[in-house]
Amino acid sequence: MKLPARFVIIGADAAGMSAASEARRCAPDLEIVAFDRNGFASYSQCGLPYLIGGLVEDHNRLIARTVGEFAQRGIVVRLGHDVTAIDANRRVVRVRELESGAETEHAYNCLLIATGASPLRPLVPGLDLAGVFHLDVLEDAIAMQDYLREHRPRRAVIVGGGYIGLEMAENLVRLGLQVRLVQRSQQLFPSVDVEIAASLDGELKRHGVDLSLCDSVLEACEGKGGRVADVHTSRGEVPADLVILATGVRPNVEVARTAGVDCGSTGAIAVDDHLRTNVPDIFAAGDCAEHWRRILGRPTWLPLGTTANKQGRIAGRNAAGGEERFAGIVGTAVTRVFDLKVGRTGLSEREAAEAGLACVATSLDSTDHAGYLPDAQSLTVKLVAEQATGRLLGGQAVGRGGVAKRIDVLATALYTGLTVEDLTRLDLAYAPPFNSVWDPVQAAATDLLRRA
Amino acid sequence: MKLPARFVIIGADAAGMSAASEARRCAPDLEIVAFDRNGFASYSQCGLPYLIGGLVEDHNRLIARTVGEFAQRGIVVRLGHDVTAIDANRRVVRVRELESGAETEHAYNCLLIATGASPLRPLVPGLDLAGVFHLDVLEDAIAMQDYLREHRPRRAVIVGGGYIGLEMAENLVRLGLQVRLVQRSQQLFPSVDVEIAASLDGELKRHGVDLSLCDSVLEACEGKGGRVADVHTSRGEVPADLVILATGVRPNVEVARTAGVDCGSTGAIAVDDHLRTNVPDIFAAGDCAEHWRRILGRPTWLPLGTTANKQGRIAGRNAAGGEERFAGIVGTAVTRVFDLKVGRTGLSEREAAEAGLACVATSLDSTDHAGYLPDAQSLTVKLVAEQATGRLLGGQAVGRGGVAKRIDVLATALYTGLTVEDLTRLDLAYAPPFNSVWDPVQAAATDLLRRA
């Protein structure tokens, strides 16, 4: 009797569980087991700031599918189980059950590493005090909620002005806290160009956030009961009874290394277009893996939930015997900061320059829909194009409405390599409540063509 | 001394004035004259329902550029001048000044016919009564505003459930009128499939609109002072002191015919990819001309402001000696009906069937953004694809938010001929306030792939 093949997944996050579901669809008899050191599987990590801000009433609402629901589909999820090592020769993983400390070995025919990413912590004293949090897994958010309930902090310092820092600023202000945002560089949301990011400064200040640019945290200081009370930054000392660290993440590649899995120059796990690592029968997907960047034609590392879901699905299909290629990313992201939305796709002007691409760019101010309607909002669209060919390289947008719409048009255009001239030819939807007869994307494209 | 070339434009609407502006940009010395029988040039026709509803305060706000501003750029606009005939052999147009009745001839080297479209009027008695309006040119809207102010009608009958009828229903309800909408077929907004259009019925009723499907107007009856007081329809008699006719339009091709310009099978003026007619040095653009439909690979007639602007710009460039091709349309439209938005692009399932294309389709209900956020709204996305190839043929969406965004992604995908599988690979923007980690477009694409 031939045993069914066994697909083992390390990490029950978006990538891991997408892979499990897809493998189940493709191979009804495949044995599928996912291990995760944490206590929750398959939830929306991007929803955590809104859970803390109270827009999401209950953390269970963030869970897409429960362990029980996976079990009903024949997918075993073992939470609180840390995979400590992979023996690729014997095709086993070593698993430690965190509660009991018991160690066991589990065989696999095919393995997926979906270990995600973990927060980078600044190397400064005091970050182990109570009241200092990062926002990585659901447990972090629940712990922060408990702390908020119990100690009612009033003054928060957020360290880091990327999207988690910005979303946490919005949500802590929603809870009534005084918020200071400390950002090391002189620009928030560094994945957009400086003139697009500049709008964020005013929006934060308008909502009472105390913004401290070109500043870094030096130390968190203890007050009563082992809890944080002050933060020293390079610009001075500020009282803080809550500190959020949001200074970026790094890929979790330790367990992959035990199997001899190679990382690429980005530090994340190198994968081919089938998401195979260099070790036979070991795949990697999601925030721990590299991501093929279409426009640059090389791997990058841009950990995002959308990509994790896509890679997970493809890895799951291939683990079940499929032959699907990951099409790559163009590099799309969007966030809301209070009433302002900001998004980007492709390459920023700075990224294009760093990649050695001679480019032309324009930023055009217009309105999200017909300017003669009373609720029209200002919208700025930036386009970046290759100078020699007119090929679109990237786009950014900022405004109170219609940002994600324009970013998605540009992301779709980038997927197929459209030129700026093509943008003017698109047959986009028009009615006065939605845009002008030339959509802002097309107006910006026309402007760029006339300048070039 | 060589006289400068003379570019004459018949029609000062979106197509005509886009052509004038573009020709001016390309050829600073070109003499440019536009004639129009009406009293306004270069305004947003699509804004007229909102002008009547009071969302646009003043009709001057709808005017993109005044006659004086055109004059400053060396573009002569002669309003109230009706071009009655074209003599293509002598290269002259015959022009009648409507106020004086004076007729003159004007020479051209190059001519653009941008005569637009005019409302179709049902052939029933009583439609010449006061209080019966159609909404074609700005004068119609101003006359309707005057009538509303003077006679304060309370009960309106709108004939026709296309986008003008629907937008007028919204705007008349905004003014406090009781509105009955009479639609000949059993479906509103016939350019979408029936299950998408069905949502509109409930939205109209929710706002107090009395919807009468499978009904047609038979007669408008006189009350006091030559004004309409009742409407007979095939379902009975209803009191009405305001009647709006919105039963479609036909292309204005009469003056083109005087020059021997050919129309296509659609009834609109046939043009090549440079927007040239069959008569040398005569171009046509906008609502009077045919529109190349990319997906079908043949001319259609789909009069819309976006297309008029695009064609006008290209005709203007070519009239000034350029060599630009019209890329064609995919067939995109969107409208808002109270709080509901509905849009379409490409081919509907019915249109695909009519074109003889074997297709597969799905309609998927989801939410415009993450369902765990409190303001998530339901959104339905329909996709239509070619059965044999998986090529996307069209898409539709209906919901309270995020409709135009999804339509524009699909319109961009259709422009380049993406497949449904490609849709699942797009790197679209994601954050919980904007969508789910798989955007509704991608969720629908996945659903369609699993069914196929």
CB A209 within 8 A of CB A176: no
> What pLDDT is recorded for position B452?
75
B-chain residues near A433 (CB < 8 A): 336, 341
Q: Nearest CB to A429: which of B47, B333, B424?
A: B333
In this structure, are strands B217-222 and B103-107 parallel, antiparallel, or unpaired?
Answer: unpaired
Q: Are the Cβ atoms of A333 and B14 closer than 8 angstroms? A: no
Burial A402-431 (b: 16+ CB within 10 A, else e): bbbbbbbbbbbbbbbebbbbbbbbbbbbbb
B47, B62, B405 member nearest A404 (Cβ)? B405
The top-level CATH class assigned to B6-37+80-118+251-319 is alpha beta
Fold match flag (A6-38+80-117+250-319 vs A121-247): yes
What whole-number distance in Å separates Cα of residue B214 and Cα of residue B188? 10
Has residue A161 got a pLDDT over 60?
Answer: yes
> Cβ separation of A334 and B431 shorter than 8 Å?
yes
Handedness of CA A57, A59, A60, A63 (dihedral sign): positive
Best of A21, A164, A408 to disrupt the B interface by mutation (most B CBs within 10 Å)? A408
If pLDDT is split at 50, 70 and 90, which confidence band does B451 have?
confident
- pLDDT tens, B305-319? 999 999 999 999 999
**Average pLDDT, rounded, for chain A:** 96
Q: What is the pLDDT of residue A452?
A: 75
Quick one: which of B107, B102, B99 has its CA closest to B39? B99
Q: What is the ipTM of this complex?
A: 0.96
Express each pLDDT in A203-231 by its tens digit.
999 999 999 999 999 999 999 899 999 99
Q: Are the beta carbons of A430 and B345 separated by less than 8 Å? A: no
Whole-angstrom Cα distance, residue A172 to residue B364? Answer: 35
Task: Please give the biggest Cα pair distance in chain A.
Answer: 74
Residues in chain A closer than 8 A to B411 (CB atoms): 426-429
Cα angle for residues A167, A407, A13 (degrees, 5° grid) = 50
Residue of B nearest to A310 (CA): B425
Would the pLDDT of A139 be above 70? yes
Residue in A240, A270, A257 with CA at minimum distance from that of residue A129: A240
Q: How far is CA A168 from CA A116, A156, A237, A443, B326, in A?
A: 21, 10, 21, 34, 48
Residue B147 has pLDDT above 90, yes or no: yes
Q: Are A370 and A435 in contact (CB under 8 A)?
A: yes
Q: What's the CA gap between B157 and B180, in Å, rounded?
A: 5
Span B328-348, average pLDDT: 97
Residues 6+ apart with CB under 8 A from B140: B48, B133, B134
The pLDDT of residue A345: 98
* Residues 268-307, chain B, touching A (beta carbon < 8 A): 304-307
Helix (H) or strand (E) segment spanning residue A85: strand A81-87
pLDDT of amino acid A4 = 60
Q: What percent of chain A has pLDDT over 90?
A: 96
Q: What pLDDT, on the 0 to 100 scale, is given for residue B4?
A: 60
Structure tokens at A50: 């809104």
* Residue showing tokens 């259709």: B414
Q: Is A359 among the residues known to form the active site? A: no
CB contact under 8 A, A418 and B416: yes
**Which secondary structure element, helix H or strand E, spans residue B46, and what is its range?**
none
Give residue limits of the domains in chain B: 6-37+80-118+251-319, 121-247, 342-451
B418 neighbourhood in chain A, CB within 8 Å = 412, 415-416
Average pLDDT rounded to a whole number, residues B218-236: 95
Partner-chain contact B336 A422, CB within 8 Å: no
Element (H, E) at B446: helix B440-451
- DSSP per-residue letters across B134-151: E--SHHHHHHHHHHHHHH
Q: How far apart are CA A164 and CA A187, in angstroms?
A: 15
- Which two three-digit tokens encode residue A396? 């950014």
The DSSP H or E segment spanning A111 is: strand A110-113
pLDDT one-digit tens code per residue, A409-445: 999 999 999 999 999 999 999 999 998 999 999 999 9
| Angstrom distances, CA of residue A123 to CA of A166, A184, B150 | 22, 14, 75
State whether B370 and A47 contact (CB < 8 Å).
yes
B59 interfaces chain A, CB cutoff of 8 Å: no
Q: Is the pLDDT of residue B257 over 50?
A: yes
User: Chain B: residue nearest A395 by CA?
Assistant: B429
Q: Is residue A1 very low, low, confident or very high in pLDDT (cuts 50, 70, 90)?
A: very low
Interface of A with B in 311-350 (CB under 8 A): 327-336, 341, 343, 345
Angle value at C-alpha B136, between B134 and B137, nearest 5 degrees: 125
Give the distance from CA B343 to its chain's centroid: 13
CATH code that applies to domain B121-247: 3.50.50.60
The confidence score (pLDDT) of residue A451 equals 86
Name the nearest CA neighbour of B122 among B166, B180, B183.
B183
Closest to A411 (Cβ–Cβ): which among B304, B414, B426? B426
Mean pLDDT of B174-203: 96
Q: Is A332 strand, coil or helix?
A: coil
Instruction: For A60-89, write each residue's pLDDT tens digit.
Output: 999 999 999 999 999 999 999 999 999 999
Predicted confidence band of residue A101 (pLDDT cuts 50, 70, 90): very high
**CB-based contacts of B349, cutoff 8 Å, min separation 6:** B193, B359, B361, B382, B384, B394
How many CA atoms are closer than 13 Å to the CA of B24, on its beta-carbon side?
Answer: 17
Q: What is the DSSP string of A159-223?
A: E--SHHHHHHHHHHHHTT-EEEEE-SSSSSSTTS-HHHHHHHHHHHHHTT-EEE-S--EEEEEE-
pLDDT at residue B65 greater than cutoff 80: yes
Minimum-distance CB partner of B408 among A328, A418, A428: A428
Q: What mean pLDDT comes out for the span B424-448? A: 96
pLDDT at B352: 97
Given its phi and psi angles, is residue B338 left (phi above 0), alpha (psi -120 to 50 degrees) or beta? left
Specify the CATH superfamily of domain B342-451.
Answer: FAD/NAD-linked reductase, C-terminal dimerisation domain (3.30.390.30)
Instruction: Name the percent of chain B lying above pLDDT 70.
Output: 99
CB-nearest to A411 from B414, B428, B434 is: B428
* Residue contacts between A and B (CB atoms, under 8 Å): 191
**Which 137-166 residues of chain A touch chain B by CB within 8 A?**
163
B416 contacts in chain A (CB < 8 Å): 416, 418
Nearest CB to B373; choose among A56, A307, A414: A56
CA angle B17, B336, B290 (to 5 degrees): 40
Check whether B1 has a pLDDT greater than 90.
no
Please tell me the class of the A6-38+80-117+250-319 domain: alpha beta
pLDDT at A393: 98
Closest residue of chain A to B433, computed from CA coordinates: A336
Positive/negative CA dihedral, B191, B194, B199, B200: positive
Instruction: Give one word for A132, left, alpha or beta, with left for phi > 0 and alpha for psi -120 to 50.
Output: beta
* Torsion from C-alpha of B3, B7, B10, B12, nearest 10 degrees: -110
Alpha-carbon distance of B445 to B448, in angstroms, equals 5
Pairwise CB contact (< 8 Å): A432 & B309? no
- What is the CATH number assigned to the segment(s) A341-451? 3.30.390.30
**Nearest chain B Cα distance for residue A98, angstroms:** 30
* Residue B230 · residue B132 · CB < 8 Å: no
| Residue whose C-alpha is closest to residue B273's, from B256, B289, B292 | B292
Is residue B359 packed enough to be buried (19+ CB in 10 Å), middle (13-18) or exposed (0-12)? buried
Q: Which residue shows structure tokens 């050695």?
A: A356
Q: Report helix, strand or coil for A290.
A: coil
